[in-house]
Structure 1
Amino acid sequence: MRPLLWLTVGCFCALPGAGCASNSATAATSAHAIADATVTKPPMGFAKTIVLWPNGAPGALGGSEGDIPKMYVYPAPGAGVHSAVIVMPGGGYVHLAIEKEGGEEARWLNAHGVTAFVLEYRLGPRYHFPSPMLDGARAMRYVRSHAAELGVAKDRIGLWGFSAGGHLAGYLAAVNDNGATGAEDPIDRVSDRPDFAIVSYGRFTMDATIPRKTDMEGLLGNHPTKAMLDSISVVKLVTKNTSPCFIFSTTADQQVSPLNATAFYDALKEAGVPVELHIFERGQHGAGMAQGMKGMTELAIYPTLLANWMEMHGWMSQE
């Protein structure tokens, strides 16, 4: 298994041999510590909120709303134990499209018998790598460690990310561990490996041969080094232990090249990881659930394909 790349807040430890850009991370921390935390308006229709670290998140720079990573809970209706999905909205790691790429999906999941959690993770420019990764991993550990009280199956917990959230979900699918035996916090003793991941129009490679408009400055800060870029390039992190993935993109996406989707698919296939890929001809970046979009009737089939994939693997009940 790959070593965790973000165990120490403030140290940009890349893959073995890639070096460590700790000085750059320290400078970035100093530069963005004065920025106000980004506050996100909650999505609609949630039942309750879960604060991931009641006593303060690791590396927290304050105690305002944007400093407190949390989940909005959407319990599935009906009795019994349900599958669960943690939804990770996009927004370039500087804001969150938390309703279009969070609340809408959570309610769709509920309608299909799946309990959902919408993650509000920390954002730049106040927070950089590894804070969002720590928040996502904590969300996985929290749901798994509280599975019984939440009414979910601890072996049927997945992630669904969009754009930057898709990158985050892909990263967590590749970089995870079995928990720390004997950790003081019992939540830290359980695995943060998602049982599956759904990734929608995310960036998964920082390969210079694939066109990109940014260097993910919202996550890495300004002027990231090659080592920093490599450390968050998901295709370089894939192993045979990476979670099964459903990948969705569009050829028309001018913001995140669909070549990211094919590169991620190739890496997963080479590692022997179950994977399904759908790239539609039409559809701009940020399609969300892709419903009700003028001239996009083909794209609208995407949630049905996802439901079929989840049903096939037993993560969603057949209706």
Structure 2
Amino acid sequence: MRPLLWLAAGCVGVCLSVGCASIAATAATAPPATDTKPPVGFEKAVVLWPKGAPGALGTSDGDVPKLFVYPAIGTGPHPAVIVMPGGGYLHLAIEKEGGEEARWLNAHGVTAFVLEYRLGPRYHFPSPMLDGARAVRYVRSHAEELGVEKDKIGLWGFSAGGHLAGYLAAVNDAGKSGAPDPIDRVSDRPDFAIVSYGRFTMDTTIPRKTNMEGLLGDHPTAAMMDAVSVVKLVTKNTAPCFIFSTTADQTVNSLNATEFYDALKRAGVSAELHIFERGQHGVGMAQGMKGSPELAIYPTLLANWMEMHGWMAQD
């Protein structure tokens, strides 16, 4: 069975088979929740599970996954993108890798959402994946009232958020017909994914500084790492991807980008890859980068790709 096919039903028990302990934790033993200051300029915030998220250990801000909504201006329906900030699954760079991108998308006729997903060390795998899948289902199931096109819903993730977006591009399902919650009846497959400097492989031959402890805990097993190694999860059903990285990134080696591209190519999935020579980890939209002015072209390249596929209106 492919990992996390049970996301459609909201089941969390299978995670224990690969050694994930956070879902089995209790509020009394878990670290405190990580609260995140909202991004700038959103219209409203939507709680993804009003009655509590699966495996929630409390009700504080960090226990409550939510979407910050940035509606596009003008007559819809519009394409939509859910932005997933990075932060090592321990915090969220929610303005630099969330709000800024949402406002840029709005300026290009795309309705945007910024996802606040649950974080370690209080929450580990699969909680962020559950939150991301729920976000896609929420937007798709509420497409009409949100003024978005239900078959033009993408993800845009950075660093840990890039890993999360890549994971959800590969591991998804059509929904569960007859589910009590109407949101669970629709697909969580994104129509496309944009991934910026994300970790996609746990291959020991590729240099890395961490074993994704923010997602997997301090002592992840080989099985746990395999379960989140995106390159091993790619199939022909994986969503088309735009991949951005830099050779100079010392935090997430750009070999992750090439390995992901190769996996997509082998599976026959549409993909576009851009790796710049300069630029450290965490460049965000890459505007005004001192010493790396060439990175400023990144949003233009992305816009061209989205326009080519009909996910952004041409200027």
TM-score if structure 1 supplies the norm length? Answer: 0.95
How far is the alpha carbon of 1:295 from its aligned partner? 1.8
8 Å contact from structure 2 (residues 80, 149) kept in 1: yes
Distance in 2 (CA, whole Å) between partners of 1:291 and 1:225 is: 39
Match of 2:48 in 1: 52
Match of 2:134 in 1: 138
Distance in 2 (CA, whole Å) between partners of 1:6 and 1:31 is: 24
Counterpart amino acid of residue 108 in structure 2: H
8 Å contact from structure 1 (residues 46, 74) kept in 2: yes
8 Å contact from structure 2 (residues 140, 150) kept in 1: yes
8 Å contact from structure 1 (residues 32, 127) kept in 2: no
Aligned pairs, number: 312
Counterpart amino acid of residue 216 in structure 1: M
Q: Does 1:206 align with 2:202?
A: yes
8 Å contact from structure 2 (residues 12, 23) kept in 1: no
Q: Does 1:105 align with 2:105?
A: no
Structure 2 unmatched runs, 5+:
none
Counterpart amino acid of residue 83 in structure 1: P
Distance in 2 (CA, whole Å) between partners of 1:27 and 1:307 is: 39
Match of 1:16 in 2: none
2:15 paired residue among 12, 15, 25: 12
Distance in 2 (CA, whole Å) between partners of 1:72 and 1:107 is: 12
Distance in 2 (CA, whole Å) between partners of 1:237 and 1:250 is: 23
Match of 2:219 in 1: 223
Distance in 1 (CA, whole Å) between partners of 2:168 and 2:313 is: 25
Distance in 2 (CA, whole Å) between partners of 1:57 and 1:30 is: 14
Match of 1:17 in 2: none
1:169 paired residue among 159, 165, 169: 165
How far is the alpha carbon of 1:27 from its aligned partner? 9.3
Bigger mean CA deviation after superposition, 255-264 or 31-40: 31-40
CA-based RMSD of the aligned residues comes to: 1.6
| Structure 1 residues 205-260: Cα deviation after superposition (integer angstroms, max 9, x where no partner) | 00101111000000000110000000000000000000000000000000000000
Structure 1 unmatched runs, 5+:
14-19
**Structure 1 residues 166-315: aligned runs within 5 Å:** 166-315=162-311
How far is the alpha carbon of 1:11 from its aligned partner? 3.8
Structure 1 pair 119/75, CA: closer, same or farther in 2 (3 Å)?
A: same
Match of 2:149 in 1: 153
How far is the alpha carbon of 1:9 from its aligned partner? 2.2
How far is the alpha carbon of 1:296 from its aligned partner? 1.5
Identical-residue share of aligned pairs (%)? 80
Structure 1 segments, 4+ long, off by >2 Å, are 1-13, 24-34
Match of 2:77 in 1: 81
Distance in 2 (CA, whole Å) between partners of 1:31 and 1:249 is: 38
Distance in 1 (CA, whole Å) between partners of 2:14 and 2:178 is: 24
Structure 1 pair 131/223, CA: closer, same or farther in 2 (3 Å)?
A: same
Counterpart amino acid of residue 184 in structure 1: P
Distance in 1 (CA, whole Å) between partners of 2:49 and 2:268 is: 35
Counterpart amino acid of residue 268 in structure 2: G
Counterpart amino acid of residue 87 in structure 1: V
Distance in 2 (CA, whole Å) between partners of 1:203 and 1:290 is: 19
Distance in 2 (CA, whole Å) between partners of 1:274 and 1:257 is: 22
8 Å contact from structure 1 (residues 158, 194) kept in 2: yes
How far is the alpha carbon of 1:4 from its aligned partner? 2.4
Match of 2:18 in 1: 21
How far is the alpha carbon of 1:98 from its aligned partner? 0.1
Distance in 2 (CA, whole Å) between partners of 1:260 and 1:138 is: 26
How far is the alpha carbon of 1:10 from its aligned partner? 5.0
Q: Is the partner of 2:33 in helix, strand or coil?
A: coil
Distance in 1 (CA, whole Å) between partners of 2:237 and 2:107 is: 30
Counterpart amino acid of residue 92 in structure 1: G
